[in-house]
Amino acid sequence: MACLLLSGATLGCKDNTGGIQKFYVANYSAATITYNTQGVITGATGINGASAFFTFEQRNEVGEFNQEGAHSVENGTNFWTQTANLTFYKNQAGLRDLLYTLAQARVLVIALDQNGKYFLMGQQNGADVTASSLNAGKAYGDLNGSVVTLTAKEPSPAREIAASTFATFTVNTTSYVA
Beta strands 171-172; 53-57: pairing state = parallel
Condensed to tens digits (0 to 9), the pLDDT of residues 127-145 reads 999 999 988 989 999 999 9
| pTM attached to this predicted model | 0.90
The CB density around residue 99, as the number of other CB atoms within 10 Å, is 19
Beta strands 77-89; 107-113: pairing state = unpaired
Condensed to tens digits (0 to 9), the pLDDT of residues 15-64 reads 889 999 999 999 988 888 899 999 999 988 877 665 789 999 999 999 99
Q: Tell me, what's the pLDDT at 1?
A: 56
The domain locations on the chain are: 21-172
What is the C-alpha separation between 123 and 131, in angstroms, rounded?
A: 20
End-to-end, the C-alpha distance of the chain in Å comes to: 49
Measure the CA angle with vertex 111, ends 176 and 26; round to 5°.
55
